[in-house]
């Protein structure tokens, strides 16, 4: 018996040593300096042990909010991830790619403490993207949302688990863009009588802005800002022009970066560079049409599965001024695009972060990268 127990003990010790030996280089790689084209980066883990994190919001009062797709909204306060999630959210119905998705602060958050979030909701049969808002209140180690209002409900809800979008972006006039997906019903993206495959523009209360492009068109959903969008999971306002830039997932190849302009049709699934999964067959009429805006960049022949989007305007990285950052789920990296006006002039791929779900510039000028696969939030700063 002694010999057997001793042998098992030694085996257990050997296995544990191997696990540590394998894990140690991974940890070291994440925390060690990371060389890029213009900077050597210091990579710090800000939060860990997150469950399928989807979005991060860095609030003006120093709080950091992180959504977890299964339905929890987490809070970081004074560098500590609070154990208990935010209470008071409406019920989230996780389904496939759906769950608790984006979160942003109101432009006047310092005055009203309002936050907005998108999520999938429904029942056993059908689900759809919804947007809610509420007042964030934190006491000791517990935060909650009060005065909760659901300001948007996607019509129609459907029985698939695909393509919910969903990014929330404020424009300069205080209106809220909501990006959606076609929910796997691609032909409906050309139908302006529903919300599938569209990007919306709402007031802060969920009403329709009077100058929305389809607000007075008979038979159209008045919230629609653009349509013909397959699945937009990254959007940001250009710091100089104020225009909405967004990327969207293609099927097999054909991911796009576009400037989204009021009332325009972005083509899906009639005009696309993407092909059918597995078979590689062409989709729709072709890759160009006069009335369809041309994408600023198209990723071919493989999709990168883009996620998150932010223009860098901070002072910590002067050589990254006006660079555009996005994540790649498929390639498991951070991507930096260099720009000349509205043209993409270069692409740099920065590995080591797993499946990047979101990227944001912080108030401190650092770049924050949210890794879905690692369950971590990273903070990037230049090495001194």
Which sequence positions are flagged as catalytic? 163
- Rounded CA-CA distance 262/264 in Å is 6
| Token duo for residue 324 | 């555009």
Cis omega (within 30 of 0) for bond into 94: no
- Rounded CA-CA distance 41/383 in Å is 5
Per 3-state DSSP, what percentage of the chain is helix, strand, and coil (rounded to 5)? 10, 40, 45
Closest CA to 148 of 113, 173, 121, 176: 113
- Rounded CA-CA distance 269/232 in Å is 14
- Rounded CA-CA distance 220/44 in Å is 47
- Rounded CA-CA distance 316/170 in Å is 24
Burial 326-347, CB ≥16 within 10 A → b, else e: bbbbebbbbbbbbbeeeeeeee
Q: Which residues pair with 24 in a beta bridge?
A: none
Kindly write down the DSSP assignment for every residue of 232-257, as one continuous string.
Answer: EEEEEE-TTT-PEEEEE--SBS-EEE
Cβ neighbour number for residue 356 with a 10 Å cutoff: 29
* Beta strand pairing call for 168-170 and 356-361: unpaired
Long-range pairs, 161-164, Cβ under 8 A, ≥24 = 161/95, 161/96, 161/97, 161/98, 161/127, 162/96, 162/97, 162/231, 163/97, 163/230, 163/231, 163/249, 164/97, 164/98, 164/101, 164/118, 164/120, 164/128, 164/129
């Amino acid at each position: 018996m002694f010999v057997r127990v001793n042998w098992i003990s030694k085996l257990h010790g050997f296995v544990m040593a191997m696990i540590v030996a394998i894990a140690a280089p991974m940890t070291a790689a994440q925390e060690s300096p990371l060389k890029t084209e213009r900077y050597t980066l210091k990579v710090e883990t800000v939060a860990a042990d997150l469950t399928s994190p989807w979005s991060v919001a860095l609030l003006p009062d120093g709080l950091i909010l992180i959504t977890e797709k299964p339905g929890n909204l987490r809070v970081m306060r004074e560098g500590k991830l609070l154990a208990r999630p935010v209470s008071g959210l409406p019920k989230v119905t996780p389904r496939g790619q759906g769950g608790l998705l984006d979160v942003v602060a109101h432009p006047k958050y310092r005055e009203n403490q309002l936050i907005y979030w998108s999520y999938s909701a429904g029942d056993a049969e059908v689900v759809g993207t919804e947007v809610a808002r509420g007042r964030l209140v934190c006491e000791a180690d517990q935060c909650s949302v009060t005065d909760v209002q659901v300001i948007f409900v996607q019509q129609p809800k459907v029985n698939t688990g695909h393509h919910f979008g969903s990014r929330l972006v404020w424009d300069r006039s205080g209106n809220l863009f909501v990006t959606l997906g076609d929910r796997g019903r691609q032909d409906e993206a050309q139908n302006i009588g529903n919300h599938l495959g569209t990007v919306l523009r709402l007031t802060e209360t969920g009403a329709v802005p009077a100058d929305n492009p389809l607000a007075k068109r008979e038979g159209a959903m008045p919230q629609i800002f653009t349509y013909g969008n397959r699945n937009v999971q990254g959007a940001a306002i250009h710091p100089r022009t104020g225009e909405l830039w967004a990327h969207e997932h293609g099927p097999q190849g054909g991911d796009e970066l576009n400037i989204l302009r009021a009332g325009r049709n972005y083509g899906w699934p009639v005009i696309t560079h993407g092909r059918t999964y597995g078979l590689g067959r062409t989709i729709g009429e072709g890759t160009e049409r006069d009335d369809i805006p041309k994408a600023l960049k198209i990723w071919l022949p493989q999709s990168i599965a883009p996620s998150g989007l932010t223009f860098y305007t901070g002072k910590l990285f002067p050589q990254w001024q006006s660079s555009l950052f996005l994540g790649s789920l498929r390639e498991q990296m951070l991507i930096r695009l260099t720009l000349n006006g509205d043209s993409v002039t270069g692409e740099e791929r920065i590995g080591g972060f797993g499946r990047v779900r979101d990227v944001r510039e912080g108030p401190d000028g650092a770049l924050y990268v949210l890794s879905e696969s690692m369950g971590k939030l990273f903070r990037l700063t230049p090495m001194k």
